[in-house]
């Protein structure tokens, strides 16, 4: 009965529709069918990173809409914020690294920003929502092993991994060409304790 009630809720309130990407009860996927008792998803995540499909078909009972929060990735807004983390050594030119990250992100951001701004304008008619900044930004903080640079940028829901790949390749090449930007890595300091005399 709860699943039938869940189906009625989906029909009337549209928590999600076929074609949308959702998370419900810890299960992620693209909705490919909604029936009286269950919703069918093309599963994403699980052991596959960056929200790509696993290839499995997953069925979840419609009762879950009453028992779990429903996270809709692209209802009215087809973009998500993604972050890339890079840590460089303390003696690297971290300011140059910051500029490189921002420049590459800016190159691919202009079209996305225009589309996102338009969708936010449409969403604001239904929800109390406001985004002041849609442009990429690079945050900087000190970590124990170096200076961490965090690139935050908008990307389309289904293009997260593709944008990560393209940006990472560009950044790796640019850091190498610069010559004074080196990636930090965890180090372990091992010291030998002095041996007591006569032992």
Q: Lowest-pLDDT range, 18-22, 117-121, 151-155?
A: 117-121
Average pLDDT, the chain: 90
Please enumerate in sequence order all residues whose Cβ is within 8 A of that of 145, keeping only pairs 6 or more positions apart, or say none.
87, 184, 185, 186, 187
pLDDT of 9 > 60? The answer is yes
Q: What is the pLDDT of residues 67-102, one digit of tens each?
A: 999 999 988 788 889 999 999 999 999 999 999 999
Question: In the prediction, which pLDDT does 195 show?
Answer: 64
Structure tokens at 123: 């969403």
- Of 72, 74, 28, 34, which is closest to residue 52 (Cα–Cα)? 28
Please count the other Cβ atoms lying within 10 Å of the Cβ belonging to residue 38. 18
- Of 90, 96, 95, 105, which is closest to residue 151 (Cα–Cα)? 105
pLDDT of 152 > 70? The answer is yes
R_g of the chain computed on alpha carbons = 23
Coarse DSSP helix, strand, coil percentages of the chain, rounded to the nearest 5 percent: 35, 30, 35
Question: In the prediction, which pLDDT does 185 show?
Answer: 85
Buried b (16+ CB within 10 A) or exposed e, 87-100: bbeeebbbebbbeb
CATH of domain 79-178: 3.30.70.100
Helix (H) or strand (E) holding 95: helix 94-123
Q: How confident is the model at residue 196 (pLDDT cuts 50, 70, 90)?
A: low
* Domain ranges (residues) in the chain: 2-72, 79-178
CATH of domain 2-72: 2.30.30.60
Choose between 198 and 157: higher pLDDT.
157
Please count the other Cβ atoms lying within 10 Å of the Cβ belonging to residue 73. 19
């Amino acid at each position: 009965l709860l699943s039938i009630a869940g189906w009625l809720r989906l029909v009337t309130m549209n928590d999600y529709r076929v074609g949308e990407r959702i998370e419900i009860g810890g299960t992620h996927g693209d909705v490919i069918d909604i029936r009286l008792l269950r919703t069918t998803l093309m599963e994403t995540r699980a052991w596959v990173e960056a929200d790509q499909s696993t290839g499995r078909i997953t069925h979840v009972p419609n009762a879950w809409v009453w028992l779990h929060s429903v996270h809709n990735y692209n209802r009215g807004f087809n973009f998500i914020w993604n972050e890339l983390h890079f840590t460089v050594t303390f003696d690297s030119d971290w300011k140059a690294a910051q500029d490189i990250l921002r420049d590459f992100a800016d190159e691919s951001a202009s079209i996305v920003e225009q589309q996102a701004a338009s969708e936010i304008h449409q969403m604001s008619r239904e929800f109390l929502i406001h985004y002041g900044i849609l442009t990429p930004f690079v945050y900087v903080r000190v970590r124990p092993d170096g200076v961490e640079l965090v690139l935050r940028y908008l990307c389309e829901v289904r293009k997260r991994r593709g944008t990560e790949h393209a940006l990472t390749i560009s950044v790796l090449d640019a850091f190498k060409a610069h010559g004074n930007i080196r990636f930090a890595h965890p180090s372990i300091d091992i010291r030998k304790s002095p041996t007591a005399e006569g032992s």
